[in-house]
Amino acid sequence: MTTRISLDPPRTLLFRAVSWYSKRTYGKVVDPVRAYAHHTGVLWSLVRLELAAGRWKKLDPQLGALAVMTSAATVGCSWCLDFGHWENHRHGMDPRKLRDVPVWRESETYTPLERDVMEYAEAMSVTPPEVGDELAERLRTVLGEEAFVELTTMVALENMRSRTNSALGLTSQGFKDRCDLEPPARR
């Protein structure tokens, strides 16, 4: 698949600044930045949203990462899965957990709480959402209300990212290849 939008946007001051940050942080300019930079207002709004979301700290980061990756897998965003593998590997997440996200139901590597978080992320990410009261109550009770709201909003944010990236035709950018995970096709 080819992208549905040029990845060579106008070189505005904002695009140059965000490109510099992206190169410094991720080693390259990420394709979503290149795509969103065609609309400075969208890029600026998303930068502010991502910076704000990065300051949320009520939910355990590994639970949040599993929720985000499960959402990306459910929506089918290869860019998000590629980046998520790399980012979470870099933060020390168990490689088995990263590898098994697309097949989490069959994997024995997750705790009961991680399974509930992944089930919740999956239920939120299908259309229409299929979140059950019992699962939501179980998570709210175990995590607390602040962390439950954070989890829910993180999954919603990932749905926006995944659906936007998929609709724009953005695919894997080779991040996963830079970590020591074996790609699923070679297993």
The pLDDT tens digits of the residues spanning 119-139 come to 999 999 999 999 999 999 999
What is the structure's pLDDT at 120?
98
- Which domains are seen in the chain, by residue range? 13-55 (no CATH), 61-173 (1.20.1290.10)
Lookup result for tokens 């602040």: 146
Closest CA to 175 of 101, 100, 67, 98: 98
What is the structure's pLDDT at 181?
39
Cα 37 to chain centroid distance, Å, stands at 19
Question: Sign of the C-alpha dihedral, residues 58, 145, 100, 47?
Answer: negative
Alpha helices in 126-183 (DSSP H): 133-143, 145-167
What is the structure's pLDDT at 149?
98
What percent of the chain is modeled with pLDDT above 70? 95
| DSSP per-residue string spanning 90-132 | HTT--HHHHHTGGGTTT-S-S-HHHHHHHHHHHHHHSSS----
d(CA 88, CA 98): 8
Quickly state the pLDDT bin for 180 (edges 50, 70, 90).
low
Closest CA to 104 of 142, 136, 144, 67: 67
Is the pLDDT confidence value at 87 over 90? yes
Find the range with the poorest average confidence among 15-24, 29-38, 58-67, 178-187.
Answer: 178-187
What is the structure's pLDDT at 172?
93
Quickly state the pLDDT bin for 176 (edges 50, 70, 90).
confident
